Structure 1
Amino acid sequence: MFLTRILQDFAVFGWDFVLSLTNILAPLRPVGHVVPEGHPGAGGHWPEYMPPKEGDSRCSCPGLNAMANHGILPRNGKGIPFKDLGELVRNTYNIAPSFCFFVSNFSANMLKRNYRRDTFDLAELDVHNGIEHDGSLTREDSVHVPDQGTPHRPFIEELLASATGKDKEGNTILTIADLSRYSAKRRVDARTSNPSYSLSFFHKMFASSNSSLLLTIYGGRVDDLEVVLLEERITEGWESRVRSKMGLTIAALNMTVLRVEMGIDEKQYAQSIKQI
């Protein structure tokens, strides 16, 4: 089983490499046509937003929760086939099929289920130190709040207020340096307040991957992120800032991930608060 997974991962990364090369050569998707015709969100027209009701299942991922709130995933967040998740995420956010398969298959393995036959509820993804981790930018640690389905407004507001960049249209955006700086703060603060705090190298990279999606899919734009992070809603007219023909690949995202993670200096932040 272990060898099978290793070989499968190699195959996925090879697939991802081919898609990355294709993106270099292929024209970008036209603005206004990033979501394929016939799929929810095509032309910027998203299905009706409905906040979750009592008993609905939600997780620590704002992007998946938003899909459920718009009915792209089941609105109750339950009984989602692993094999269907990737295509739905791909069409919604223009993420490469290699990337979508890797994450969906990883989730199935994490829950000890069969990727092709089984289903899951969103809340089940929040196995501690599976995908969910300490020091999140949008959630309190699970030791304090076991239900990770609800965003923590103070963290999100502080994150967005830390934005220092501007895009070509003059919109306020988060930068790589902003995310590195705030990630350092969250990790130090979480370690201080959480007696069982843990963040392995794998989960540090996973955390920076989540941060990097804010920069790639949303272009770091604060006005878009405020809606999706706080309300877990997709703004009418919005489309992914990723316009690559084959979508956002693992290789492309990792170029941003490494820059975010390498810029995180927990010691510098810890020293700064001691001096206050």
Structure 2
Amino acid sequence: MPSLKSLLLLATVCIPYAVSVDTDDHRWIAPGATDERSPCPGLNTLANHGYLPRNGKDISIPMILDAAKEGYNFAPDTAILAAAKFGLLSNSTATTTLNLDALKLHGLIESDASISRGDFALGDNLHFNETIFSTLANANPGVDYYNTTSAGQVQQERLAISLATNPNVTNTPKEITLRSNASAQYLMLMGNPITGVAPKKFVQIFFREERLPIAEGWKRSNVTINGTTMGVLSVAIQAASNWTVTQDCEPLVLGPMD
């Protein structure tokens, strides 16, 4: 998710794509002890701002569509909708809703070599991990933005770490697609949805606090983020990651059935 040569140019690129977000109706509130969250910071942020139920429970696909449109200006064909559809598969019984916690099911939308979560086989694949996130936090040194090149390099480094430390790492074509789409999303959401240039401070707040950095100057894009524009950035990120497949796709394993 091209490099810009100055802060002024970065601002010039980002400002035309921004509109205000109603902070009174959707102020950020940290999740409580009984609230459920997912491995996806995008969905968690929507819940923390009240675009989705703040308890993270009984969420339908239409609710996610409305929240993603209102909070992020996401079109229905983006990966966040795919996350919702796959999330329904995590339920043990037929249902039209999901709880965010269900999305931690390994191999569904969650993947190894995440840029903010641990590998499933190594422990906690649900909660934010600062040590893991440091790879992204320290990326693209010398400038105050991330782009598709830095995002790809972060993916490459994170995968190398997983391959070296996780004997059960999953690294199929599905995983690289999930990872590249997720990287494209944070660049588009927090920066320019066309160029994929995003201020570091916005991205870091988004991951660490799962909060829209409105107070810091972020504004929602007025350019609708769709699958086509996201796909362009995702392809560029994957190319920059110098990725190599190490195994074939595995069959989907659903949760326990009653």
TM-score by length of 1: 0.72
Does residue 200 (structure 1) correspond to residue 178 (structure 2)? The answer is no
Amino acid at match of 1:236: I
Equivalent in the alignment of 2:102: 124
CA distance in 1, matches of 2:18, 2:212: 17
Equivalent in the alignment of 2:46: 67
CA contact (8 A) 1:164 1:178 kept: no
Counterpart among 150, 154, 163 of residue 182 in structure 1: 154
CA contact (8 A) 1:45 1:236 kept: no
Amino acid at match of 1:190: S
Identity %: 21
Distance 1:30 1:153, change over 3 A: closer
Equivalent in the alignment of 1:163: 140
Distance 1:89 1:179, change over 3 A: same
Does residue 239 (structure 1) correspond to residue 226 (structure 2)? The answer is no
Q: Aligned runs of 1:1-276 on 2, under 5 Å? A: 31-33=18-20, 41-42=21-22, 45=24, 47-99=26-78, 101-109=81-89, 111=91, 118-146=96-124, 148=126, 150-164=127-141, 172-219=144-191, 220-237=198-215, 238-240=218-220, 242-244=221-223, 247-265=224-242
Distance 1:179 1:217, change over 3 A: same
CA contact (8 A) 1:180 1:264 kept: yes
Q: In the TM superposition, what whole-angstrom CA distance separates every residue of 1:143-169 from its partner, at most 9, and x where no partner exists?
A: 222350x21112223312212475xxx
Amino acid at match of 2:168: S
Residue 236 (structure 1) shift: 2.7
Amino acid at match of 2:174: F
CA contact (8 A) 2:139 2:150 kept: yes
Amino acid at match of 2:147: T
Unaligned runs of 5+ in 2: 1-14, 192-197, 245-258
Residue 109 (structure 1) shift: 4.3
Higher helix share: 1
Q: Which moved more, 1:201-210 or 1:75-84?
A: 75-84
CA distance in 2, matches of 1:101, 1:63: 12
Distance 1:60 1:120, change over 3 A: same
Residue 239 (structure 1) shift: 2.1
CA contact (8 A) 1:83 1:104 kept: no
Residue 203 (structure 1) shift: 1.4
Amino acid at match of 1:152: N
Distance 1:92 1:187, change over 3 A: same
CA contact (8 A) 1:164 1:174 kept: no
Amino acid at match of 1:252: T
What SS does the corresponding residue of 1:98 show, helix, strand or coil?
coil
| Structure of higher CA gyration radius | 1
CA distance in 1, matches of 2:82, 2:115: 23
Which 4+ runs in 1 deviate beyond 3 A? 28-31, 100-103, 109-114
Equivalent in the alignment of 2:10: none
CA distance in 1, matches of 2:77, 2:161: 35
Equivalent in the alignment of 2:9: none
Pairwise CA RMSD: 2.5
Distance 1:175 1:112, change over 3 A: same
CA distance in 2, matches of 1:144, 1:133: 12
